[in-house]
Structure 1
Amino acid sequence: MDIINLLPENIANQIAAGEVIQRPSSVVKELIENSIDSGALNIDVNIKDAGKTLIQVVDDGKGMSSNDAEKCFKRHATSKIKTPNDLYRITTKGFRGEALASISAISHVEMKTRTENQETGTLIFIKGSNIEKKEDVVCPIGTSFEIKNLFFNVPARRNFLKKESTEFKHIQDEFIRIALSHPEINLTLTHNGAEIFNLHSSILRKRIINLYTESWNDRLVPIEESTEIATIKGFVVKPEHTRRTRGDQFFFINNRFFKSSYFNHAITKAFEGLIKKENFPGYFIYMEINTKKIDINVHPTKTEIKFEEEKYIYSILLSTIKRSLGKYNITPTIDFDKESSFDIPNSILSQAASEPIIKVNSKFNPFKTKDNSKGLTNKGFGSAKSSSVDWDNFYSIDEEKENNTENYPPIDIVNSLESFSKFLIKDSYIITPSKSGLMIIHARRAIEQMTYSETLKSLENKCLSSQKLLFPLEKEVSINEINIWEQNYDLLKKFGYRGIIKNNLLTIKSVPSILQEESISECIDDILDTLEYKEIDESHITNKIILSIAKSTAMKKLNLNTNKSIQALVDKLFQCENHTYSPRGKKIIETISLKEIEDKLK
């Protein structure tokens, strides 16, 4: 008995959709790429409820005939490939013919399209791979897609979608990648009626600035190299503006976004010694390579690419970036004429500059002293005179008596240690005696742990106390950061943050009272990085924000000038439930036993 059956087309499409369409952002990516392949110069994207309710993409491309409009929803229906050799000459975004078939299998699709030669267009309505309506319609030249009720027949996939802010963040990411790959196209993105991006055709540098902020104009270092193997151009971000996340890293090949840990290593190596170990370099790298020497048919998402000469490209990329960093004086140099820079608090920056006043004591005489020694008044050795006995003793030889350490009287080490005062080394380490020896406490980690415990305890009962800034802090933020701030503002208010956004400028008016002024900017950067690039729930976000506040508090200058202040810190540390490790898992306390001390001094 035969048991193998051919699957119906609608079931096959649903299976394929599981790999091609992973979330709403996948639909946005596929539809915009189709619009670009159609020659569109204007593309409008309208999203509702992060794509769960509606995804609309409208373009002014070539459009499709009535027959093509129906045929495009079939599996492996494409206009880009006709022969096997075409697979090695792919210059378009799509070529597999799977996207529209997969989208129509798991949603309600309404498409309107018209070519330049047609007086009327074609409307097609599909539900779960079944065409339920096809008719003539009046519409402009181009194509319009409306995707509704995504995953309506795959409830498990719909239930596994993240919260709205997270899903829309993925849509934004896909939109930004396409916007960067085609700065010559006008693009708009709207979410729930609010315009997020309105990008006009421009050069690449201007497109980057429009996607981020005006301040990015000074952050970009241009790179360019042309060889027989590859042409490389684009920008890298200056070392001082690198971040602790990988969000600003973009590779493009023949105007197609792709990911490559191998080439990323080349860029990281080029920045060695210029950035902190925990930071990642930012870059916008564009490569042009002969299509016969690459293979993009690796994965349905088309973000993985195989290179025929990747080792040579690695070397070219590394040397190109190093040369550009040197050409634009980004590499470190020694300049003895350059004045050192200082971190100036915001309150001082807002004050008017005043001329320094020099006070001079006109009565001071450096040659007049109160008590002159006899040696000074009588010159040389003063009034003392040598005698014959002194000279005899000078030439006499006394045999040195052998020292016997074993005969030294015993020392009560414990009692001696307990009489010592605590002291601070290098503004970070507290040395204090204990009955078993010496205890070393990492002061900054101790403060971080204490701040973390206090903040967590305060949040269990109510919001953190907030303090108003005498001089509000102004910070330029990107479109993404604006959305992140607004989406998480209620949570941030619990921590004492208050601020308004106007024209890409975030004005911080209040901060947690435990936060020092010099730590505010760094703490906000850390929080925005956490919220922007990580898929985490509210409890995890809360923990991350507390960690940022605790870390920023610990980095301030320590006021541990007296034994009393040091003792207060030690006592407060031991009141914490966990006083041995910091919130980040670093050791706070280390004990050196008396035996270890004695062994070291043998």
Structure 2
Amino acid sequence: MTHIKRLPDHVTNKIAAGEVIERPASVVKELIENAIDAGCERVELRINEGGKEKIQVIDDGCGMSREDAAVAIERFSTSKIQSFEDLETLVTFGFRGEALASIAAVSIIELKTKTASEEEGTFLRAEGGKITQIKEIPWKKGTTITVRNLFFNTPARRKFQKTDLSETRQIYRVFRYYALAYPELYLSLYNDDRPIWRLQPAELFQRIIDVFDPGVKQYLIEVDYHDTQFSVSGYIGVPEWTRSTRTDQYLFLNKRFVKNRTVEHSVYQGYGQTLSHVSGHPFFVLMLSASPDKFDINIHPTKLEARFQDDRGVHHFISQAVRNALGTPQIDVTQPVEHFKKPVQEQQPSKTAAIPFEHHHASHEMPSVIDKVQSEPEFTDQTQRIKYKVDREKIWQVHQCYIFSQVKNGLIVIDQHTAHERILYEKALRMFNQGEKPSQQLLFPQTIQLSRDEIIILNELLRHLNKLGFEIKISDNNTAVIEAVPLEVRIGREIEVLRNIIEEYMKDEYKDLDLHDRLARSFACRSAIMKGDKLTPDEMYKLIDDLFATQFPFYCPHGRPTVIDISMKELNSRFYR
């Protein structure tokens, strides 16, 4: 009796679909690429409920005949290549013949299409990869594909999709790739019948402004550089204009959005020391052109990763292009690409034979990972609280950063920022759980301009921010008005705190953390006392008192220590007593 069996086609099709179609944005990517490959001048995208219920792509490309439409939803059916050798001269997006078949395998699709030479168009309906209806219809040249009930027959995949707002934001991101790569096309996007983008053909500079915001034009620097193997054009941001994440970095290889660590690193190297005085990541939209035989895109079904024959040559070329745009000196890059590491500095011998402190982080070992407040040792022992009882008259602030205080068995040093972070973090969690909502009304409400992505996130977070004490109204023109903030937010920092909460959420969106926990962390971090804030003795005493009243006082929510405990024994040994 054999134990190994050949899987039926309907099972293998669903498995293969999972490689190509991970989420609604994957469907959008494949359908827009098909429209562009069909030679369209216009693409219209319509979505409902984050693309889970409906995705529709309308193009005016070459269309398909009845016969081609029927074959198109079968696996490994493509008009892009005829032989393996064609991969070496590939100029289209599609070539594997899997995209439409994968979409059809996990959804209900309706396809309406017509070529210029035919009098009638074709209507095709398929459910789970099976054609249920095909007929002639009156239609115009081009193709309209409507995808409904994505993952209706794979409930496990459907269950693990993100919220509608998260999926919508990912679709916006994918749409943005093609809007930037093809500024010569008419492109539009509608979300629940509401227009989000209606982009007219334009030069790349204007398209960047249309896609992002009119304010970006003052920060853009043009890149235009060529050699015998490559050419690159586009725009980079001025060094002072950086982003908190890498999401606004766009690399296009022969107009295909790709990810490549070599190129990304080369951009940073091109900026060189100009980024040393700022934090964050540079903005760039770069169009790299190369012969198809110089790179390989057929690495993964999603075709997002590119590999180059000559990594070092590409790295050198891009870094020089960025330097040239910035007007900085061009230097030769001799370090191998595969060793992107800072040089290790030799340790200098110590000038003294002093005994190092054996610092104890409040007598607790630092956990390797602190992702949840429950993972920390709870501070409930009354004896421990007595150990850290401080004298109001024996507290000092050092460099407006650390608080020193004498305790019964020695000395404690407290990081004023991380300590206050811990206090605000636990308070925020209580507010979420108990419904407390203390806030302060602003005498002058603050208006903040946000991107489309940020507005989506703010809508998603709004009811949770209300529980913290924020009162925010969102307008139609991507602006929000802050009318009230939590008591802990210092007046004048309202916009900074809100913007950082949104940015931190964007960075942590796919981490396995509770939403309230993530919001409490970012709120605490941005609202806490900062390094450089001068504190009075009463404020320092209250900070210490509040810290040791928390459940877990020894580490901030991100895992950094709040307290260093230096015993008298250690002090005595330092002075050879």
TM-score using structure 2 length? 0.83
Q: Deviations over 1:105-149 (max 9, x none)?
A: 222221111111222111111222222222110111100111122
**Post-superposition offset of 1:227:** 0.8
Q: 1:588 to 1:156 in 2, by over 3 A?
A: closer
**Post-superposition offset of 1:537:** 8.7
Root mean square deviation, CA, Å: 2.6
Q: Deviations over 1:259-281 (max 9, x none)?
A: 11222222233445415786233
User: Which deviates more, 308-317 or 275-284?
Assistant: 275-284
Q: 2:529 and 2:416 mapped to 1: Cα distance?
A: 10
**Post-superposition offset of 1:240:** 3.0
Residue of structure 1 in register with 2:228 after alignment: 228
| 1:310-459 correspondence runs (5 A) | 310-326=311-327, 421-459=394-432
Q: 1:184 and 1:419 mapped to 2: Cα distance?
A: 69
Q: 8 Å contact 2:46–2:57 — kept in the other structure? A: yes
Residue of structure 2 in register with 1:250 after alignment: 250
Identity %: 34
Q: 8 Å contact 1:519–1:552 — kept in the other structure? A: no
Q: Deviations over 1:352-372 (max 9, x none)?
A: xxxxxxxxxxxxxxxxxxxxx
Q: 8 Å contact 1:236–1:283 — kept in the other structure? A: yes
Q: 8 Å contact 1:113–1:144 — kept in the other structure? A: yes
Q: 8 Å contact 1:46–1:55 — kept in the other structure? A: yes
Q: 1:297 to 1:560 in 2, by over 3 A?
A: closer
Q: 1:272 and 1:589 mapped to 2: Cα distance?
A: 37
Q: 1:132 to 1:266 in 2, by over 3 A?
A: same
For 1:291, give the aligned amino acid. P
For 1:47, give the aligned amino acid. I
**Tell me, which stretches of 5 or more residues in structure 2 are unaligned?**
330-389
Q: 1:142 to 1:513 in 2, by over 3 A?
A: same
Q: 8 Å contact 1:515–1:549 — kept in the other structure? A: no
Q: Deviations over 1:267-319 (max 9, x none)?
A: 23344541578623332121000111111111111112221112111011122
Residue of structure 2 in register with 1:95 after alignment: 95
TM-score using structure 1 length? 0.80
Select which of 525, 538, 541 maps to 1:551: 525
Q: 8 Å contact 1:211–1:478 — kept in the other structure? A: no
Q: 8 Å contact 2:500–2:526 — kept in the other structure? A: no
Residue of structure 2 in register with 1:65 after alignment: 65
Tell me if 1:519 matches 2:493: yes
For 1:108, give the aligned amino acid. I
Residue of structure 2 in register with 1:584 after alignment: 558
User: Which deviates more, 500-509 or 293-302?
Assistant: 500-509
Larger Rg: 1
Tell me if 1:504 matches 2:478: yes
For 1:476, give the aligned amino acid. Q
**Post-superposition offset of 1:182:** 1.0
Q: Deviations over 1:475-510 (max 9, x none)?
A: 221111122222322222222222332423322222
Tell me if 1:476 matches 2:449: yes
Higher relative contact order (CA 8 A, sep 6+): 2
Q: 8 Å contact 2:47–2:191 — kept in the other structure? A: yes
**Post-superposition offset of 1:34:** 0.5
Select which of 481, 484, 488 maps to 2:461: 488
**Post-superposition offset of 1:75:** 2.1
Q: 8 Å contact 2:113–2:141 — kept in the other structure? A: yes
Q: 2:290 and 2:40 mapped to 1: Cα distance?
A: 24
Tell me if 1:560 matches 2:535: yes
Q: 1:228 and 1:249 mapped to 2: Cα distance?
A: 25
For 1:151, give the aligned amino acid. F
Q: Any idea what SS the aligned residue of 1:232 has?
A: strand
**Post-superposition offset of 1:567:** 2.8
Q: 1:554 and 1:177 mapped to 2: Cα distance?
A: 37
Residue of structure 2 in register with 1:294 after alignment: 295
For 2:40, give the aligned amino acid. A
Residue of structure 2 in register with 1:127 after alignment: 127
**Post-superposition offset of 1:81:** 0.9
**Post-superposition offset of 1:323:** 3.3
User: Which deviates more, 512-521 or 264-273?
Assistant: 264-273
Q: 1:539 and 1:175 mapped to 2: Cα distance?
A: 28
Tell me if 1:594 matches 2:568: yes
Q: Deviations over 1:47-95 (max 9, x none)?
A: 1222222111111111112222222222222111123321111111111
Tell me if 1:114 matches 2:114: yes
**Post-superposition offset of 1:208:** 1.8
Q: Any idea what SS the aligned residue of 1:196 has?
A: strand
Q: Any idea what SS the aligned residue of 1:39 has?
A: coil
Residue of structure 2 in register with 1:375 after alignment: none
For 1:578, give the aligned amino acid. F
What is the count of residue pairs matched by the alignment? 513
Q: 1:275 to 1:283 in 2, by over 3 A?
A: farther
Q: 1:188 to 1:484 in 2, by over 3 A?
A: same
**Post-superposition offset of 1:538:** 11
For 1:69, give the aligned amino acid. A
